[in-house]
Amino acid sequence: MKFETDYIEKLAKIIADNELTEISLEDGEQAITIRKDLPEVITAGVPTVAPAAVTSTPAGTTVQSEPKAEVKKGNPIVSPMVGTFYSKPSPDAEPFVKVGDTISVGDTVCIVEAMKMMNEIESEFSGKIVEICVADGQAVEYGQPLMYVE
């Protein structure tokens, strides 16, 4: 039996609708993994969309993926919880920070909403914002880099 295209598309929809990042299934002699990368990364104020990756391999086969050659500059400010990232205090306000802004230790850089609570995220570093890794309103995971400070 082969995984049908309709079935794969339904799995991809499940990932998108439930804010999941990966689904792996095994059926006898075959296995499938559908993985969603972060949908949008903002670098120097320019958003880019990352494609979703779908792989299908025979069951029992180990897939070795090439390590990503990501070169991150500076120190990451990571999410202390699972929630929703907000770059500004209200929809009509200016963002807390933008790429190129200089910040100090203790400055509020964003909000992560978790369980209806708005949690202000403060910088642990002083320096310049060199990259904002998530889009406004995007779901974030515990430990996920939100931005980098150089």
Where do the domains of the chain lie? Answer: 5-58, 75-149
The band of 7, judged by pLDDT with boundaries at 50, 70 and 90, is confident
CATH code for the domain defined by 75-149: 2.40.50.100
**Three-class secondary structure of residue 6 per DSSP:** helix
Rounded distance, CA 33 to CA 11, Å?
10
The pLDDT tens digits for 75-121 are 999 999 999 999 999 999 999 999 999 999 999 999 999 998 999 99
Backbone angles phi, psi at 32, to 5 degrees: -140, 140
pTM for this structure?
Answer: 0.53
Rounded distance, CA 96 to CA 88, Å?
5
Rounded distance, CA 77 to CA 132, Å?
10
DSSP at 29:
T
**Does an H or E element contain 91, and which?**
none
The band of 73, judged by pLDDT with boundaries at 50, 70 and 90, is confident
**Three-class secondary structure of residue 15 per DSSP:** helix
